[in-house]
Amino acid sequence: MISPIETTRDTGDAHMVTVHGSPRRFAQEIVVRQHRLASDEPTSDGGTDTGPNPYDLLLAALGSCTSMTVALYARRKGWPLEAVTVRLQLPHIHAVDAASCDNYSALVGDIDRHIELVGDLDETQRARLLEIADKCPVHRTLRSNVHIQTRATVWARCF
């Protein structure tokens, strides 16, 4: 796909993710700093299943941010949290989502999130950690009115 030396540029505090794909298939290569990930659609939806689909990645972002935020809060409080497991589900049907791209009201709006907190926590601590889960940055971003600026960009390739 891309040359092995190409990575995303350091943009300071801004988060830069580069996604490379082909118009002939769903498989994508995602580059984040020195990390490379794959994204694709399942074979049942016309992909080759070489990686998680975009919905899976969205859930992974929310789940990892939730787990990190809850764990950080417990560490700061000195609470006996031993492990956090976040399970997420986004009910959707790919073909329906693709067919309704122009209709925002048809897009999926509910994410089921189950958080397992392991450790000798009392009920007050457990309740507080569940409140903190709703304050993770990705959760707040998803709940906000995010404006996405889209521009066409032409990059010169050097060979």
Cα separation, 129 vs 115, whole angstroms: 10
Contacts of 20 (CB under 8 A, 6+ apart): 1, 2, 28, 29, 31
Considering 36, 51, 66, which residue would you say is the last residue of a domain? 51
The CA angle 32-36-42, to the nearest 5 degrees, is 115
74 and 134 inside one domain: yes
DSSP state of 114: E
Instruction: Kindly report, residue by residue over 4-51, the tens digit of the pLDDT.
Output: 445 555 556 568 899 999 888 999 999 999 999 999 999 999 999 999
59 and 36 inside one domain: no
CATH code for the domain of 67: 3.30.300.20
Range of the domain at 129: 53-143
69 residue type, one letter: T
Q: Copy the structure tokens of residue 157.
A: 């390739």
61 and 40 inside one domain: no
In a domain, 98, yes or no: yes
Per-residue pLDDT, 9: 56
- Name the pTM for this structure: 0.80
Residue 156 has pLDDT above 90, yes or no: no
Number of independent structural domains in the chain:
2
Helices 54-77 and 123-133 pack at an angle, to 10 degrees, of: 140
Instruction: Kindly report, residue by residue over 45-63, the tens digit of the pLDDT.
Output: 999 999 999 999 999 999 9
Q: Is 53 helix (H, G, I), strand (E, B) or coil?
A: coil
Cα separation, 47 vs 34, whole angstroms: 26
Contacts of 153 (CB under 8 A, 6+ apart): none
Residue 84 has pLDDT above 60, yes or no: yes
